Amino acid sequence: MIGSADSLRGAGGTAYPALGDLGAALDAGGALPPVVVLPLHAVSAPAEGAAVPEAARAALHRVLAVVQEWLADDRFAGSRLAVVTRGAVATAAGQETDLVHAPVWGLLRSAQTESPDRIVLIDLDRDDRDGKDSNKADEARHLARALDSVEPQLALREGELLVPRLARTAPPQDGGTAPGWGDGTVLVTGATGALGAVLARHLVRQHGVRHLLLVSRRGANAPGSAELSAELAGSGAEVTVAACDVADRDQVAALLGTVPAEHPLTGVVHTAGVLDDTTVASLTPERLDAVLRPKTDAAWHLHELTRDLDLSAFVLYSSVAGLLGTAGQANYAAGNTFLDALAAHRRALGLPGTSLAWGLWAEASALSGHLSDADLRRLARSGLRPLSTDDAMALFDAAPGTGEALLAVTRLDTAALRASGEAPPALLRGLVRTAPKRAASVSAGAGSGPGLAERLAAARPADRDVMLTDLVRGRVAAVLGHPDPTEIAPGRALQELGFDSLTAVELRNQLAAETGLRLPTTIAFDQPTPGALATYLRERLAVDEMTADEPLLAELARLRPAVEAAAGDADAHGRIVTRLRELLDAADAAGRPAPAEDDTTDDLDAATDEELFALLDERE
């Protein structure tokens, strides 16, 4: 455990003040535990009286530093970091959430995507019990169950382990309760951006809103602002365009003071946001904060300064990046997860609150305009298809009728996900069912992907380089969206082909899954060409030392526990023994020289069960 021994009740194990202390213990000969627990509520408790956004940023800074150290230090490569929060996720309607630590889930979901099998997220019940020893023992037992699970994200509620799964929803047939948009002034942040402008037109044309307060950092000086105002005015709306940094509480308070009493504020839609994509390893506190402020600070100020008003709608434009943990968007994911938690928090207080976690829009915007054709193909392979503007606005209208505080609003191509052959993100497993792949080994080279070690060991040494080069070229082509891997020249620089930090992470993950190796996120830059990368993999896999029997012996060793586990089932035991006899017959026939005419051979059929299992043991 990292932190105080008292920070997690009854958890047991050795407590280290910091990761560096665990590293020192390993250097002194200590054993690396399979799981290291980081109780977040103890490590990053907010300062007394600190504003929620400030406390959330401080918590994120601390966690980011720990996770970066965890992922960068090879001494920890064989273990998982279990980050434990309390009440940071809402598992049912009406639950209040810990807004300080909720964004950590978004940050770490992206870290999980970038570095699979290295981080686990666990959320415990809120710490509002009496602290009796019985409760401590129960919590420790339930936490142990969570740590034994293969799920990357879990919540513990009254002894029950819950996992997040996306499920289809539909508005009730009666249409539910829609907000009364046209009765007062509706405030839209980020209103001069592409998505904000689409919404403003929709509110006026489809909902009859007649009083709009459109807000952006540049206000009337923003490109297209005058044209948008004139267009809306021509449709009968009274439009006020204002410049305001909604992440500044004083500016938001002054802005709200301009709303006329005869048209009081009745709705808020927060669409503002910025991007600054980078991997977790390269993320700095400054880049984290720059993306957080338009999300966390702005939404919190809007919440606090309007909570006593009679609003009919409080809508937050979030993103599926926070739910899925998009690689390279840990800062953006964190900010959007705060919005999701704030909507649940408002519902628990009896206030309107809806967070719309948008997927990809076909409409170009500041948040999607940077995507290349390769990026779009990569997103398509992940199942995310763009929403047309008409479909997006239809879903915006349908959202209130569902009664949900959080909705993922996206087109999802489940067929593409199944066709990829990869296991879908845990969140999508309820919608997309595929045959699970064997997990990669945590030790370098110990668990080469299914079939790869066997093929390499059986191949001639001269062919092994070709096989690995073809593997690398195929994965490079898949990541970049090239239709023909043979067009990827082995000597061509990967950066010239279009690799950046995000596609490098995807390439690393695909090669790690194929080979079973722990590979650095910078592998596409450390090994600059497909040929160099293939050579690196050959050295890491120790291909030159492989013999043809190694993969078979490893497979036999892997099967032994399963064979022993079936010993208690008489029927299964008999079938297994029969198959083992057949395998031994085949091995014996293939491996023995032809006997002389007067030789006698052992009769394997006469072997006892104990002798058969002893033979299996010898082949390890």
Query: Residue 417: pLDDT band by 50, 70, 90 thresholds?
Result: confident
- Looking at the predicted structure, is the pLDDT value of residue 30 above 80? yes
Quick one: residue 424, left, alpha or beta (phi over 0 = left, psi -120 to 50 = alpha)? beta
In a domain, 300, yes or no: yes
Q: 538 and 568 share a domain?
A: no
Return the higher-pLDDT residue of 353 and 366.
Answer: 353
Cβ partners under 8 Å of residue 548, min gap 6: 457, 458
Q: 86 and 135 share a domain?
A: yes
- Looking at the predicted structure, is the pLDDT value of residue 550 above 70? no
pLDDT at position 298 is 98
Residue ending a domain, among 411, 431, 466, is 411
Q: 103 and 47 share a domain?
A: yes
pLDDT at position 444 is 35
In a domain, 533, yes or no: yes
- Looking at the predicted structure, is the pLDDT value of residue 6 above 80? no
Strand order in the sheet with 313-319: 238-243, 211-216, 185-189, 265-270, 313-319, 354-358, 406-409
pLDDT at position 458 is 76
Q: Which of 263, 222, 267 is nearest to 241 (CA)?
A: 222
Q: 82 and 151 share a domain?
A: yes
Q: 115 and 36 share a domain?
A: yes
* CATH code, domain with 524: 1.10.1200.10
Least confident of 280-294, 423-437, 466-480: 423-437
In a domain, 427, yes or no: no
Count the domains in the chain: 4
Q: Give the chain's mean pLDDT.
A: 85
pLDDT at position 355 is 98
Mean pLDDT for 358-382 is 71
The range of the structural domain enclosing residue 406 comes to 182-374+383-411
In a domain, 434, yes or no: no
Q: 228 and 361 share a domain?
A: yes
- Looking at the predicted structure, is the pLDDT value of residue 446 above 50? no
Least confident of 37-46, 312-321, 411-420, 573-582: 37-46
Least confident of 65-79, 183-197, 560-574, 598-612: 598-612
Return the higher-pLDDT residue of 324 and 180.
Answer: 324
Residue ending a domain, among 99, 131, 162, is 162
Q: 232 and 98 share a domain?
A: no
Q: Mind giving me the DSSP string for 455-485?
A: HHHHS-HHHHHHHHHHHHHHHHHHHHT-S-G
In a domain, 170, yes or no: no
Q: 50 and 193 share a domain?
A: no
* CATH code, domain with 201: 3.40.50.720
Residue ending a domain, among 129, 162, 195, is 162
Q: Mind giving me the DSSP string for 328-348?
A: TBHHHHHHHHHHHHHHHHHHH
Q: 497 and 407 share a domain?
A: no
Q: 304 and 400 share a domain?
A: yes
